[in-house]
């Protein structure tokens, strides 16, 4: 082979990876890994919340043991949320993803009820441990909301790449096994941090005799 032919072969070998990269061959796996990283962030924040629940329940129990039904619901919801099986396939499996999402939303709902009962117990509202746990919970709920938003943005970009040019070409050839990912579709109430009001309850209207 002549020197010129060898040079052309080398030039083609060097140019090919650049050309493929310019055609978006790496976009799908890059966006897939980014979405998976955001999914890990969501899981970490949910685990952080789950770790707060036992201490929160015990603190409330010490001042409001009569709220047994709410305490039991919170404990059960936490158990369900932490026992739902989650792995790498969850975000591409609609049924598994929905199960995980519903379990977390249920815990969000009962935690909101737990925080509201403090209005009936002044001693609980002044307890330093409770106030610290409440602050941590509110912060974690906010981080969960942000993590879910970032995950949804990453999933949207990944799913769009699978369906649009030039990604659709690679999705139908090199990345046939790649499936669309599931976004969160929680209600506004489920994603919001518990709303805590420190205003005194309004007195009940008194009835007067005619």
pLDDT band at 162 (very low <50, low <70, confident <90, very high): very high
SS3 of residue 85 by DSSP: coil
- What pLDDT, in 10s, does the model give residues 96-127? 999 999 999 999 999 999 999 988 999 998 99
**In CATH, what class is 3-191?**
mainly alpha
pLDDT band at 43 (very low <50, low <70, confident <90, very high): very high
For residue 195 the two structure tokens come to 């709303």
Where along the chain do its domains lie? 3-191
So what's the pLDDT on residue 1?
A: 59
Structure letter (DSSP) for residue 16: H
Alpha-carbon distances of 79 from 58, 194, 200, rounded to whole Å:
15, 20, 33
**If you average pLDDT over every residue of the chain, what do you get?**
84
So what's the pLDDT on residue 24?
A: 81
Interval 9-26 mean pLDDT: 54
Task: Report the residue count for the chain.
Answer: 210
Query: Is 11's pLDDT higher than 70?
Result: no
Dump the DSSP string for 153-202. HHHHHHHHHHHSTTHHHHHTTTTTT--PPPPP---HHHHSPPP---SPPP
Q: Find all residues with CB under 8 Å of 120, minimum gap 6, and list them.
A: 64
Alpha-carbon distance of 136 to 78, in angstroms, equals 17
**Residue 54: how many CB atoms within 10 A of its CB?**
12
């Amino acid at each position: 082979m002549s020197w010129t032919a060898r040079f052309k072969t080398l030039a083609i070998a060097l140019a090919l990876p650049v050309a493929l990269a310019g055609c978006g061959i790496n976009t799908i796996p890059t966006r897939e890994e980014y979405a998976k990283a955001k999914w890990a962030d969501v899981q970490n924040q949910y685990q952080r919340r789950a770790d707060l629940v036992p201490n929160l329940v015990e603190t409330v129990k010490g001042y409001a043991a009569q709220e047994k039904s709410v305490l039991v619901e919170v404990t059960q919801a936490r158990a369900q949320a932490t026992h739902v099986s989650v792995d790498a396939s969850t975000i591409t499996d609609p049924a598994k993803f929905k199960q995980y999402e519903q379990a977390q939303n249920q815990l969000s709902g009962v935690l909101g009820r737990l925080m509201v009962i403090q209005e009936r117990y002044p001693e609980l509202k002044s307890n330093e441990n409770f106030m610290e746990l409440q602050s941590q919970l509110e912060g974690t709920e906010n981080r969960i909301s942000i993590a879910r938003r970032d995950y949804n943005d990453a999933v949207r970009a990944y799913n769009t790449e699978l369906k649009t040019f030039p990604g659709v070409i690679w999705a139908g050839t090199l990345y046939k096994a790649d499936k669309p990912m599931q976004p969160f579709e929680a209600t506004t109430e489920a994603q919001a941090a518990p709303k805590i009001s420190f205003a005194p309850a309004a007195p009940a209207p008194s009835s007067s005799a005619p």
